[in-house]
Structure 1
Amino acid sequence: MDNTTHTTRHIEIDYADGSPLAADDPRGAMARSMQAARAVIAHVDATNAENSTPCTEWNALQLAQHLVAVFERAAAGPTDQVIDDMAILADVAIDDLTDAALASARLVHANWSTDAAMTEPIDVPWGTLPGAAVIGVYAGETIVHTWDLAVAIGVDLNWPEADVAVHHEMSKIGIPESPRDEFMPFDPVVRPGADAPMIEHLVGWQGRDVDRWRVA
């Protein structure tokens, strides 16, 4: 389904949660990215579930299911679960998406509540990294896929700008501009105009066609 022209719905999110975490603690970034994702997931319904998305292999419903799965994978990090064995798409019906996203977000908060989780090595599909790096990557993945879902269903929102800027810099380090082949499954870098919002610079670095998908 070609849905590059959208009816825009704006979401205004209050990211001030009174968290005692330091400003640069990636658990805070993960919390804010999940806030954004949950707000967008709440707008997935029968009228837009089959919309195409920037992730060409998934429609809007599947992308929402993937976001829930990202939460579940993030929650598994400090546990004995093998993340590589976990599903890419959560087995969640459309009417249950909002509740599933909330439940898995709460599990993320619970499992990452101790500072020890930030230094322990964690096995993830892309290697073994300290917890702080792992939760930071999942925060970045969540915010990028939230943009994917938002533009697919015609939602506009305020983004956690400081987090997005950090994710952009980390993407430039972790996802080189070239080569991008079967070992680096990202489309070529897309550079929006200099005055484009930071979220478009982030998703453009990860190969999204921001001009095509920009919410009107």
Structure 2
Amino acid sequence: MSEAPVIPDPRPTYERAAEQLLRLVTAVRPEQLDLPTPCTEYDVRALLGHVVAGADRVANVGEGKSPDGPDVPEWTRDLPAGSWPGTYEAARARLLAAWADDAKLDELVTVPWGKMPGRIALAGSVMETAAHTWDLARAIGWSGELDRTVGEFALAAAQQALPAEGREGMPFGEARQAPEGVDTYVRLAAYLGREPEWEGRN
């Protein structure tokens, strides 16, 4: 019987993913905060609040605190566009500091999506960060090239963690078919139930 594959340390990839998302957050203009996103329950403002809250919840876990917290904190709803880069930077820096101890990677932790070793929880954070980076890029019409290493890690994490079908009770729709020849982020979006050819009104 073969052993389960060892998931590599996700922290360097999370750091790349968060740096990339920070560049997108910095690119958001004030008039774009109310635009829709491919993650249809959020407009751009709510999506930014969601990624800040997600980083804070996973930081709480690394600090030995409860992962509970609002999906979109109330205080983020009126935050001006210029305040978002510093707000997200603080959240991602706190997450990385909370998980700096290597021993935490193999401790069992409870995160909003279940109980698992720390490294698997952080792999989930890479997946979520990469997916929301694509959401934000599509929403604001950002056309730069996204980090392939991050996208490949995130897609592999998604395919390991989520069944393609039978996602009742999960915050994802059924996996969709991605068009031929698309990049890894579009494939990730499709696997997570997004409309892979979503176009906004940026």
TM-score grouping bracket, smaller chain normalisation: 0.7 to 0.9
- Match for residue 127 of structure 2? 140
SS in 1 for 2:59: helix
Whole-angstrom distance in 2 between the partners of 1:191 and 1:46: 34
The answer to whether the 8 A contact 1:30-1:135 is kept is yes
**Structure 2 residues not aligned, in runs of 5+:** 1-6
Q: Does residue 138 of structure 2 align to residue 151 of structure 1?
A: yes
Whole-angstrom distance in 1 between the partners of 2:124 and 2:188: 13
The answer to whether the 8 A contact 2:38-2:198 is kept is no
- Match for residue 71 of structure 2? 88
Whole-angstrom distance in 2 between the partners of 1:106 and 1:186: 27
The answer to whether the 8 A contact 2:158-2:192 is kept is yes
Larger helix percent: 2
Q: Write out per-residue CA displacement over residues 17-58 of structure 1, whole angstroms, 9 at most, x where no aligned residue.
A: xxxxxx942001110111111111112232111101112221
Whole-angstrom distance in 1 between the partners of 2:93 and 2:156: 28
1:209 deviation in Å? Answer: 0.8
Whole-angstrom distance in 2 between the partners of 1:115 and 1:186: 30
Paired AA for residue 44 in structure 2: A
Whole-angstrom distance in 2 between the partners of 1:108 and 1:125: 15
Among 101, 112, 124, the alignment partner of 2:111 is: 124
Among 73, 76, 93, the alignment partner of 2:60 is: 76
Paired AA for residue 100 in structure 1: T
Whole-angstrom distance in 2 between the partners of 1:36 and 1:153: 15
1:189 deviation in Å? Answer: 1.9
Greater than 6 Å deviation, 4+ residue runs = none
Whole-angstrom distance in 2 between the partners of 1:133 and 1:44: 30
Whole-angstrom distance in 1 between the partners of 2:66 and 2:94: 16
SS in 2 for 1:157: coil
Give the length in aligned residue pairs. Answer: 192
- Match for residue 12 of structure 1? none
Paired AA for residue 155 in structure 1: W
Paired AA for residue 60 in structure 1: V
1:160 deviation in Å? Answer: 2.4
TM-score if structure 1 supplies the norm length?
0.81
Q: Does residue 155 of structure 2 align to residue 168 of structure 1?
A: yes
Q: Write out per-residue CA displacement over residues 104-142 of structure 1, whole angstroms, 9 at most, x where no aligned residue.
A: 111112111110111121111222111111111111111
Whole-angstrom distance in 2 between the partners of 1:134 and 1:35: 19
The answer to whether the 8 A contact 2:26-2:85 is kept is yes
- Match for residue 40 of structure 1? 24
Q: Does residue 162 of structure 2 align to residue 179 of structure 1?
A: no
Structure 1 residues 212 and 143, CA gap change in structure 2 (3 angstroms):
same
The answer to whether the 8 A contact 1:121-1:128 is kept is yes
1:76 deviation in Å? Answer: 1.5
